């Protein structure tokens, strides 16, 4: 039985406001995506944990663990009202203080609203990629607004057909709106998900965009809705194809090493994680939601290098030199 979502927007937000309409889109997407992933897993179910914040807003945390396919999968909805420190604004958007909608005095905070749906899914089988998405809407009380988000994939082993399917699904979505969006957002993902201290990408990309308000709000809302609708289509066929493949202990160890890279990126570079951690001091952060993206298991080996000519070396070369799919 699908539970009815109760809006966490403030009563002062008009029924037809973009705040409420974006919240409705991500609430429906959360239900649909969790249902698709539960059907794929065939075992575990997502828990459901609603929560509220004293400053207004709240969220719904949905987490699945120890399933047939997934080690851990989370799909978290968040509605936030607060006073944003300038360093948090810098983390939230590439343009930083420019998004305040006016000149800021030193130490001045920015009243803001944010709503988003964020997910990370970590399968058990090394041949099943990790998948992440996040779609969000920001407003400042001074009138600035923008959309951000994207969907990306992180395999441990290279399957070019899988990558063509994943990227092709999102190219189709982008092309409906602007033929320049997919190449732009794909390149943006390759740049954003770079682990700079390693000189390699976290995974094999997808799409990523931020500070997006080039079109009217209706167009951006519809694009976010269609991108969210595309998540099961882009991801589930890859899981179904690879979920029952046999694997060795060495292949599992490689997956755990790549999970370690995932942790490094998320804790050092990920804008959403950094924003959430910086907001903890303002009383609107929630640590379990902020760190939901981390896998249950990861590994680090000293000075590890894959063997030349191995499947592990093959994908490592692509992590170091992003490709077109």
Q: How many CB atoms lie within 10 A of CB 320?
A: 11
Are 87 and 127 spatial neighbours (Cβ–Cβ below 8 Å)?
Answer: no
Are 83 and 110 spatial neighbours (Cβ–Cβ below 8 Å)?
Answer: yes
For the chain, report the end-to-end CA distance as a whole number of angstroms: 39
3-class secondary structure, 132:
strand
3-class secondary structure, 324:
coil
Which tokens hold the place of 134? 């996040």
Cβ within 8 Å of residue 164, ≥6 positions away: 325
H or E segment to which residue 162 belongs: helix 160-175
Residues taking part in catalysis = 132
């Amino acid at each position: 039985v699908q539970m009815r979502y109760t809006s966490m927007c403030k009563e002062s937000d008009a029924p037809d406001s973009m705040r409420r309409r974006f919240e409705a889109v991500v609430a429906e997407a959360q239900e649909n995506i969790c249902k698709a992933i539960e059907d794929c897993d065939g075992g575990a179910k997502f828990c459901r944990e609603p929560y509220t914040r004293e400053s207004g807003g709240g969220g719904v945390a949905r987490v699945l663990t120890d399933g047939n396919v997934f080690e851990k999968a989370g799909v978290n909805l968040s509605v936030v009202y607060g006073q944003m420190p300038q360093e948090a604004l810098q983390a939230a958007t590439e343009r930083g203080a420019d998004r305040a909608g006016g000149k800021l005095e030193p130490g001045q905070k920015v009243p803001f609203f944010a709503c988003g749906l964020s997910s990370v899914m970590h399968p058990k089988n090394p041949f099943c990629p990790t998948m992440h998405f996040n779609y969000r809407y920001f407003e400042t009380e001074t009138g600035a607004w923008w959309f951000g988000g994207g969907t990306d994939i992180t395999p441990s082993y290279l399957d070019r057909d899988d990558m063509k399917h994943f990227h092709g699904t999102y190219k189709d979505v982008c092309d409906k709106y602007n033929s320049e969006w997919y190449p732009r957002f794909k390149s943006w993902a390759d740049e954003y998900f770079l682990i700079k201290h390693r000189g390699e990408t976290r995974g094999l990309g997808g799409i990523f965009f931020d500070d997006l308000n080039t079109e009217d709000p209706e167009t951006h809302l519809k694009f976010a809705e269609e991108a969210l609708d595309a998540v099961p289509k882009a991801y589930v066929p890859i899981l179904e194809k690879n979920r029952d493949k046999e694997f060795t202990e060495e292949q599992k160890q490689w997956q755990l090493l790549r999970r370690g890279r995932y942790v490094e990126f998320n804790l050092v570079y990920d804008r959403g994680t950094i924003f959430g951690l910086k907001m903890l001091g303002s009383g609107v952060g929630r640590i379990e939601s902020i760190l939901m993206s981390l896998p249950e298991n990861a590994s680090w080996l000293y000075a590890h290098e894959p063997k030349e000519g191995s499947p592990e070396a093959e994908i490592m070369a692509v992590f170091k030199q992003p490709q077109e799919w």
